[in-house]
Amino acid sequence: MGTLPDLIKTLTREQQALIATVLAFSPYLQRQLEKHPQQLPDLLASTARQTTVLLNSINTEIAAVPDENALLRTVRLIRHRETVRIAWRDLAGMAELEETMLEVSTLADALTGAVLDWWYRDLCSKHGTPRDRTGTPQHLLVLGMGKLGGRELNFSSDIDLIFAYPENGETDGRRTLDNQTFFTRLGQKLINTLG
């Protein structure tokens, strides 16, 4: 595909002016597009991604990851790709502020859910499924607080999460853990991966 300057030369004057304006406002976008110039055509035609499409796309990408190193790499790539798309739409005047905050919040929510599911499956494969006293499988509940809970995240917002699990018990694998230990590890893995 070539370098970013080579690609820009092939565009219309209006597109070149838009690119110059957007990149003047965001050194981050400029660095990302210099690394990944193949994103530019998609950005020029960018539209908002429906929440379900974004969630399904991220879930599919994360679920296919084979190991922790690949998970970290994939989360980073998704975050950069989607942040570039959202920031581009914001700076190019293609999205209102409310839409931008909603998309940033949806991205954080989608990554949180997909990474939580990945680590849950990983820990269950090592320790078994956490169950209550009656044998019912238990899952970690993750609540988004603050700007995430209000769907008002911006690009510099941290996400505030609260974790809870329904009942005490233990995992049903060979190397059992009590539910508190299992879910504490799960929460730590989630935070470390998203961090």
Q: Which helix H or strand E contains 171, and what residues bound it?
A: strand 170-171
Pairing type for strands 141-145 and 160-164 reads antiparallel
Walk along the chain (195 residues) and give the pLDDT tens digit of each residue.
Answer: 678 888 888 889 999 999 999 999 999 999 999 999 988 988 888 777 777 888 899 999 999 999 999 999 999 999 999 999 999 999 999 999 999 999 999 999 999 999 999 999 999 999 999 999 999 999 999 999 999 999 999 998 999 999 999 999 999 999 999 999 999 999 999 999 999
Domains and CATH numbers, the chain: 46-194 (3.30.460.10)
Largest Cα span, the chain: 68
Return the residue matching tokens 């790539």: 77
Alpha carbon distance 174, 160 (integer Å): 34
pLDDT at 1: 62
pLDDT at 189: 98
Give the global pTM: 0.90
Task: For 2, list phi and psi in degrees, rounded to 5.
Answer: 95, -175
Which region, left, alpha or beta, applies to residue 188 given φ > 0 means left and ψ of -120 to 50 means alpha? alpha
Residues whose CB is less than 8 angstroms from the CB of residue 96 and which lie 6 or more positions away in sequence, other chains included: none
Alpha carbon distance 99, 156 (integer Å): 16
